[in-house]
Amino acid sequence: MKLLKLLSIVAGCFFFTQAATAQSSPAISAEYSNEAIASLIRKYKMSHSHDVIPPAELAAKFKADFPRAYKVEWEVADGIYEVEFDIKFRDYTAYYDAKGNLLMTEEEIYRSELPAIVKNAAETKYPKYSFEDIDRIRRGTEVFYEIEMELRDAEVKLLIKSDGTVLEERID
């Protein structure tokens, strides 16, 4: 009985420690509307970005937002900073404005982490395709999933809202 109680306490401490050390997602800035953020990111992606060393204040904000980041690489275009990095062997991308406002994040996730409604939407649209790359995108107050699926030589890229609505689909 004492051994069972001791194991229960140790297990409880382990789960508490794991929860306390997990990387939480930093808050996306409320300074911009969802549409304004989408416009800023679209403009950035259409521009010619270049590698950069960010201003000290922005680098400090990033370090506070993502304290466990490593393999950090910065680019800038049109006043938008893109930073690619890893956390626990996962790829991430974050976008900041010049004032240090976090605009959007992209996080590589596993198929098992997809919400059922999103997974079902993709599988319904392309039932014979297999999942390849999946990213969770947090932009403003919205969450999206960018999913690449393949069937032999055919590839499709879907952008699906967290409610299962397919917003974009590109076939390669």
Which residue is listed with tokens 């319904």? 124
The Cα–Cα gap between 93 and 43 comes to 16
Domain count, the chain: 2
Kindly state whether residues 69 and 133 are assigned to the same domain. no
Q: What is the pLDDT of residues 42-57, one digit of tens each?
A: 999 999 999 999 999 9
Please report the pLDDT score of residue 25 as a whole number: 83
Considering only residues 8 and 50, tell me which one the structure prediction assigns the higher pLDDT.
50
Q: Quote the domain boundaries for residue 33.
A: 26-105
Kindly state whether residues 114 and 75 are assigned to the same domain. no
Considering only residues 19 and 118, tell me which one the structure prediction assigns the higher pLDDT.
118
Which of 65, 108, 101 has its CA nearest to residue 80?
A: 101
Please report the pLDDT score of residue 132 as a whole number: 95
Kindly state whether residues 67 and 50 are assigned to the same domain. yes
CATH number for position 38: 3.10.450.360
Kindly provide the b/e burial profile for residues 65-88, where b requires at least 16 CB atoms within 10 angstroms of the residue's own CB: bbeebeebebbbbeebbbbebebe
* Residue 23's pLDDT band (cuts 50, 70, 90): low
Residue 15 has pLDDT above 60, yes or no: no
> What residue type is assigned to position 7 of the chain?
L
Please report the pLDDT score of residue 10 as a whole number: 39
Please report the pLDDT score of residue 84 as a whole number: 98
Percent of the chain scored above 90 by pLDDT? 84
Out of 71, 105, 139, a domain closes at 105
Q: What is the pLDDT of residues 64-105, one digit of tens each?
A: 999 999 999 999 999 999 999 999 999 999 999 999 999 999
Kindly state whether residues 31 and 101 are assigned to the same domain. yes
Q: What is the pLDDT of residues 154-163, one digit of tens each?
A: 999 999 999 9
Residue 114 has pLDDT above 80, yes or no: yes
Instruction: Give the global pTM.
Output: 0.82
The Cα–Cα gap between 133 and 157 comes to 9
Which residue is listed with tokens 């990111």? 41
